[in-house]
Structure formats: structure tokens, C-alpha cells
Structure 1
Amino acid sequence: MCGRIAFFDEPQVVADQLGYPLARATFPPASYNIAPGGPIVAIAATDGEPEVIPLQWMFKPRWAPEDAPRTHVARAERLAASRFWKGAFARHRCLIPVNGWYEWRHDGDAKLPFYFHGASQRLLLLAGVFTTLADGELGCAVVTQPAQGLAKDIHSRMPVVVGAGAEDWLNPEIHDRETLKQRLRPVPIASLAIQPVSQAVNSTAADSADLILPISPPEA
């Protein structure tokens, strides 16, 4: 799925590496353990050309009824069909730069955390959609797909990590699902590294570089 995010690069690094302007805004501090509902960095075209901006990692359109769910993930299979998602999918797509993300494998009563990151330690871009929340702020969700390769041993779903087609994903002029499906190419699962990490990350209060350090693999 995508339980937590690690993003500890400076937003300016994203702007410099990817060639998007940096918005004049207050950005969240670097964090090794961003929980749903927290502030994150994203690339989105909110008023003109795409730029690097801060967003809330939570999605519930302001028009949604009170009993509608608040969520931080969006199933790729439902984006174009569900009323909850299809407006954002058509006009408000974004990219979420991360250094990595965490997912948990359930082993009895234990929750064993794993850290997913680029095998070459490069910045990863997760596909996302954004909306205006009830308070007028912008919030987003990470788009997920069925887990691939070794990721299936940990969780049934994983984020869509964008390789080719990032510019098309950000382009609101392209809103046909089949066109996007043809142009958007997730990075191969072999280009990702997965490592078990300390259960200290289970606490949302924990936030240090030690959280992403590998530990001895837990027994299957």
C-alpha cells in the first residue's frame, strides 16, 4: 500500500534535479517517518505550470459528504470510474518525490516494517492525485497498484513508482485513461530495494536516520 513515507532531501534538490520551479511556500522539514495526514512535498500544476509545492497527505474532496472516507491512497483501478476520484484523475494529478516508503508485513500479532527505496538510492516519484480539502488546503493521495515481485511477500499493494511518462502524468490536457496507461511506465520492481528495518518506525513519533537502516531479516 504505502504506510509511511521518508523524504529527507531539500525541496530545492527536487526542483534542481527535475527542472520544476520551487513555489514560494513554507515546506515541511525533512522527515524519515511521515504518516498519513502529515505535510509532504509534491509536484503539481495548481495554477499554470507544474511546480514543487507542499501538500497534505490526505484526500477528501471538499464536496464529499461528511460520512465519506478520508484516505491517503487511491487504487489505480478505480481512478477513472469512481466519482470520488475521477475529477482529480482527470485534472489534478501530481507526483510525490520520496526517498523511500515503509510497508508492514503482519506476522501473528507482530507488524514487521520494511523500507522500500531505489536500489541506486535515487529519488523516487510516486504517482498521486490531489484535491481541495474542506479547510481550503490542498491534499493528495498516493496511487497504488497490485504489488509486484518480492513486494507481494510483504503487502498486496504498492505505490505506482513513475519512470517514463512523468510529464504526461502532470499534464491536465491528457485525461484519457488509455492514453495515460500507454505513456506512463512504472519503474521495474528490480530497480527497487526492500529491506527490513527496526520496529521503532511503528511509532509515528519516531523520526531519525536510524529508521531506514537495515536489520537482520525476520524469519518468514
Structure 2
Amino acid sequence: MDAVVSEKTLGDSGYNQPPGTFQLCALKSPDTGEVKLGPAWWGFIPNWATDTKLAPINARSETVADKKLFAKSFAHQRCLVAADWWYEWQRDGDRKQPFAIRPEKGGPFFFAGLWSKAARLPADHPAAGQVTYAILTGEPNDDIAHIHNRQPQALTFDAARAWLHHSSNQHLHEILADGRYQAYESWPVPTRVGNPSNDDLAVIERVNL
């Protein structure tokens, strides 16, 4: 997953925002259990990191519970990333074609994510002291597998709620396997979406191939 989703219906984000920017997230406070909605930095920065050399934007669902970097967050610090669609790039030899993708019925939805607070970044970094996150990915659905060999875990509303509140690894893996949308629509979009400075409605318009 290369480019960012639009969140025009859920926040004040743009049509083409890359990693290293703030996006709208929901998370459950480990201390109070309260679910909060607010901005989070796209790029998972561990609370012990003093720079952003290690800031993955994605985490593989199949191995996330066993990775030292993500295990604590998988168990206790999960989040939901608000989205209207996402972009993937299809490779055909030397050519790359971007596609916009969303659940078949459209409308806003959530990606499953993990979060960590960037507690030790230099004070002048925009993510210093802020919540940061990575999006969970898995095998692609059959109707979009021709575009890319991975897809973000786009959860139904019921699954999204369960993602925040369940605690056992078994249940969490079941949510990722069974709780995502089962049908998607996709359409080719202009290659100018590859430049984040092109942040306008035209980047999601269908193009003829």
C-alpha cells in the first residue's frame, strides 16, 4: 500500500496524503478503556526510538503477534484508521498503474492498526509525543488480487468494534481473517497520485487504460 486514503468524510485530511502525516484514528486507552478519536502519525515509532529510522507503515497480519516490535501493541494497543478508499500500484513489466480501491458498497470504513506513542523523539519532530501507527495487511481478496499481492485489513463496522475490545490472540486473528469486507470495487486513477503534492479530487478520477 503506497498512497494514503482520503478521509474527507471523516476528518480534514486530503485525497493523497502519504506516510509521515497525521490521519484520523480511533484507539482504546489502556488506562481508562475509553475509546478516543483523534490524529495519529502514519509510521509506527516505538516508544523507545529516538529517531524515525524504524517507522514501518504496515505490519503483516500473519506474523505480527510474534514480532518483538509489534507484539505489545498487538496485545494492548490496537487502533482503527478511518478511510474512504486506498491506493495500490499494479506492476506490468516496467509500468506501474495506480488503482483506487474501496469496499464494494462504498462509504467510510476502518483499517485495523497498531499504535505506539513516540515518547523519545526530538521535541522539534512533528510526531514527538504523539500517537503513531501501522496498518495491518493480509492476503488480497480475489477481486483485487490482480492489482497487488497484499491488501490492508479493511474491517466491517462490527469487526472494527471487536478489534478494539477483544484481547486474545485467537480472537484477534479470527477478526482479521473473517471480519474484513468480502467484496471490493477498484478503478484506475492518474499516475499523478504518486506525487503527494497532487492533493485534489482529480487524483481519484477514473482513467482509461
> Are positions 1:137 and 2:120 aligned together?
no
Pair 1:201 & 2:202 matched: no
Equivalent runs, 1:152-191 vs 2, <5 Å: 152-163=145-156, 164-171=158-165, 174-183=166-175, 185-190=178-183
Q: C-alpha deviations, 1:111-153, integer Å up to 9, x for none?
A: 2100002322211211001001232211001100011213211
- Alpha-carbon distance in structure 2 between the residues aligned to 1:182 and 1:70: 26
For residues 149 and 175 of structure 2, the distance between their equivalents in structure 1, rounded to whole angstroms, comes to 25
Total equivalences in the alignment: 197
Alignment-derived partner of residue 73 in structure 1: 58
CA distance in 1, matches of 2:6, 2:67: 29
**3-state secondary structure, aligned to 1:211:** helix
Q: Which ranges of structure 2 fall in alignment gaps of 5 or more residues?
A: 122-127
- SS for the counterpart of 2:88 is strand
Scaled by the length of structure 1, the TM-score of the pair is: 0.82
Matched position secondary structure for 1:187: coil
Using the TM superposition, give the Cα deviation of residue 180 of structure 1 relative to its aligned residue in structure 2, in angstroms: 2.0
TM-score by length of 2: 0.86
Change (3 A) 1:119 1:165: closer
The residue number in structure 1 matching 2:83 is 98
Indicate the SS of the match to 1:7: coil
Structure 2 residue aligned with 1:5: 5
1:150 aligns with 2:143: yes
Residue matched to 1:24: none
Gaps of 5+ in 1: 12-28
- Give 1:209 shift: 0.9
CA contact (8 A) 1:78 1:85 kept: no
- Matches of 2:81 and 2:94 in 1, distance apart? 32
Partner of 2:124: none
User: How far apart are 1:160 and its partner, in Å?
Assistant: 0.5
* Cα displacement (A) at 1:205: 0.5
Aligned-pair distance for 1:2? 5.0
Q: Distance in 2 between matches of 1:205 and 1:45?
A: 33
Give the aligned partner of residue 30 of structure 1. Answer: 13
* TM-aligned CA deviation for residue 67 of structure 1: 8.8
Shift, 1:73, TM fit: 0.6
1:64: Cα distance to partner? 4.4
C-alpha RMSD over aligned residues: 2.0
8 Å Cα contact 2:43-2:55 kept in structure 1 = yes
Share of identical aligned residues, percent? Answer: 26
Alignment partners' CA distance in 1, 2:112 and 2:2: 12
Using the TM superposition, give the Cα deviation of residue 62 of structure 1 relative to its aligned residue in structure 2, in angstroms. Answer: 2.5
1:110 shift after superposition:
2.5
Q: 1:179-208 CA distances to partner (integer Å, 9 max, x unpaired)?
A: 223345333332x21110111101111011
